Structure 1
Amino acid sequence: MTNPVALDNVLHQDLRVAFRHGAEFGDAANQTLIFPTEFEAVQREFPILFREAEGEGLQAVALTGFDLDENLFFDGERWTSRYIPALQQRGPFSIGIPGDGLDPDEGPTVHVDLDDPRVGTAQGELLFLPQGGASRYLEHVSRVLGRIHGGIGAAAPVYALFQEFGLLESNVIEVTLHDEQRYRIDGFQMLSRDKLAALAPEALERLHRANVLGLAYLVAASLGNISALIERKNAGAVR
């Protein structure tokens, strides 16, 4: 159960929220949903793959491990990567969108889940300054939520162009570790470097004008992180 409420600098003047990660908050999964608005940061750390989600259509994910509940960038308490995907950065916060029972004349608002165990802890960070303004923590959360909000709107058009130009293809990731343990990861689509390189000038121009060509190159570059992921897995296997 969740209990999201709109943040209010009067009602929640003294509310504190702990900046904490954990398996119970979804940080230990081997894949995390991501959005085009964070591709530049994600591609420096994680492979970007695509999956068909029932009722949701095509989604992009950052691959973080090979076993189901394995995140090789999470040590049980904190992420060890330089970038944390936005959905895991947001903590107990979410976006309230006009039309969801809100005043349609207002823009998106920040909501907090009062039933989340990170909310209301004495060790947490204050959300508001004594004068009522947003704390640095809340400003950070607002930026993360803005990235998610923008990414939700951008995702479908971007992925539709990837599909239209045939850049995505089903592929299988086969991994053999130093201890001879083998993994076969399927059910994903990958952006083909070869198909991207073979695009006609007219296609490249259209993708460029739609601000999608750069995103395609970022996704293609991210696939080099699969070898780094294998290295992390091997390092854990030999300890």
Structure 2
Amino acid sequence: MANTALLNNIDHADLKVIARRGAEFGDSVNQVAVYPTEFSELQRDYPVFFRKNEAGDYFCVVLLGLDKAENLYLDGDRWIARYIPAMLQRGPFLIGFQDQSVDGETRREPVIHVNLDDPRISKTEGEPLFLPQGGNAPYLQHVSQALRVITVGADMMKPMFDAFDAAGLIEPVSLDIKLDDHTEYKVPDLFTLSEERLAALQGPALEQLHRGGFLRAAYLVLASLANVNRLIMMKNAKRAGGN
């Protein structure tokens, strides 16, 4: 069980976070969960797909590699893309909720927790979380933004998929990648959107998708699929390099 604590500038004044990327920090994964709030950044570099969890609910992922524990976007301690998915940007932090009094009313407010056992946590190296006078340091502000992307995106997930489903857009996809006569990959259990059905939407169905703010999300998902070719090129380059 993770050793988590409510982050504060008294108990954790001297905490630092090692911000570089690396396999030792859990970055060697071939896919990661993502959120609608980051689709516009993700679609430039990654293919976005959908999966179903054990309860049968859809969620979003980006593919980072083809083999188990392979991240083609990770080069040693560098990330070779313009944007890192928020779930990886957040590092050892997560959002919790706490009852707080706001203008005389008790509200459930989001608060940041930290996993003190995470290998990125240090007192000797890395980015400070708090300024000497107690305010949030730039790195913690960055983490807070990543956590907002996750929290707001998680709230959008169900209505977005309900809208896609109501419009009949979601369809299973078979991702078969052949690198040469001897090397072939099949990535199972993926879903995407039907470009043909999206293009054919008219009237109320189209208006409902647009009004919910999900029409743009649909086009971003479809645009991202071109990055499957980028993934193949990166994989071939890695093989050619003998890695």
2:17 equivalent in structure 1: 17
SS at match of 2:83: coil
Structure 2 unaligned blocks of 5 or more = 101-105
Q: 1:237: how far off?
A: 1.5
SS at match of 1:107: strand
Q: 1:74: how far off?
A: 1.0
Q: 1:106: how far off?
A: 4.7
How many residue pairs match? The answer is 236
Q: Distance in 1 between matches of 2:172 and 2:107?
A: 43
Asked if 2 retains the 8 angstrom alpha-carbon contact of 1:16 and 1:120, the reply is yes
Select which of 109, 116, 119 maps to 1:117. 119
Q: 1:20: how far off?
A: 3.2
SS at match of 2:229: helix
CA deviation string 1:26-64 (max 9, x = no partner): 311111100111111111111110011113711100011
User: Residue 94 in 1 paired to residue 94 in 2?
Assistant: yes
1:52 equivalent in structure 2: 52
* Fraction of identical pairs, as percent: 46
Q: Distance in 1 between matches of 2:56 and 2:81?
A: 28
**Counterpart of 1:37 in structure 2: which amino acid?**
T
2:202 equivalent in structure 1: 200
- Structure having the larger proportion of residues in strand: 2
Q: 1:206: how far off?
A: 0.8
Asked if 2 retains the 8 angstrom alpha-carbon contact of 1:179 and 1:237, the reply is no
CA deviation string 1:55-76 (max 9, x = no partner): 3711100011111211111124
- The TM-score with structure 2 as length reference comes to 0.92
**Counterpart of 2:73 in structure 1: which amino acid?**
F
1:189 equivalent in structure 2: 191
2:62 equivalent in structure 1: 62
Q: Distance in 1 between matches of 2:14 and 2:43?
A: 38
CA deviation string 1:186-232 (max 9, x = no partner): 21111121111111232111111101100000001001111111111
1:80 equivalent in structure 2: 80
Which is worse superposed, 13-22 or 226-235?
13-22
Asked if 2 retains the 8 angstrom alpha-carbon contact of 1:18 and 1:121, the reply is no
- The TM-score with structure 1 as length reference comes to 0.93
Select which of 171, 175, 178 maps to 1:176. 178
Select which of 135, 152, 155 maps to 2:154. 152
1:209 equivalent in structure 2: 211
**Counterpart of 1:166 in structure 2: which amino acid?**
G
